[in-house]
A = this chain, B = another copy of it.
Amino acid sequence: MSLHDTTQTKILDAAEFLFAERGFAETSLRTITGRAKVNLASVNYHFGSKKSLIQAVFDRFLQEFTAQLSSHLDQLEREPAEELQAETLLSALIDPLLSLNTTRNNAVSIFMRLLGRAYAETQGHLRRYVTERYGHVLVRFTHLFQKGYPELSNDQIFWRLHYMLGSLIFTLAGSDALRQISEADFNRSLEVKDVIQEMVPFLAAGMKA
């Protein structure tokens, strides 16, 4: 049996779609197993619990994303400070996203919606889990910005990075709906790639402000 047709990946595929679409609590295991066309008990058999399934969904996305981001950061950390323009740094974030989208359909939108939901879980374990496991990549990213823009104070960079993340997550999480509105109003068809590229000047100008 191919790796892409195992029960585990069928569950993961169905779960990540439904979690992004409706949220974690609003998605029952019966809905997931129904969509994945597997038995209800197989979730607990393969993943242990619903909570662990949620973490597994995040892990599959974040491992692929942070691996790519990390190799971009490796490269940037060897560059001199004057090469670290906001646009260059942004592409270290954007390239892995675009690559995600070519691997799987609509992956960026799903990924960002999941991130938005994890972020909303202020008191939940999920946010802590994600930041503890993948937070170090964000720290490296922050240091590169400090190196590229020494005239900005550390907390200015801290906050502006979060403004940027807000724009990215918020816009890309809703990009499906927004693209439809945009096409209806302006008769201009947009790909996710275009939406992302369109954001770069906005974000870069803000970072340099």
Q: Which residues of A contact B (CB under 8 A)?
A: 21-23, 25-26, 113, 116-117, 119-124, 154-156, 158-160, 162-171, 173-174, 176-178, 181-182, 185-186, 188, 195, 198-199, 201-209
Contacts and interface: CB of A to CB of B under 8 A. Distances in A.
Contacts of A171: 159, 162-163, 166
A122 B21 contact: yes
A180 to B, nearest CB: 12
Contact of A21 (B123, B201, B206, B207): B123
A116 B120 contact: yes
Given A113-B120, A166-B166, A186-B154, A159 B209 contact: no
A23 B21 contact: no
Contact of A116 (B116, B167, B203, B207): B116
Contacts of A195: 159
A182 B158 contact: yes
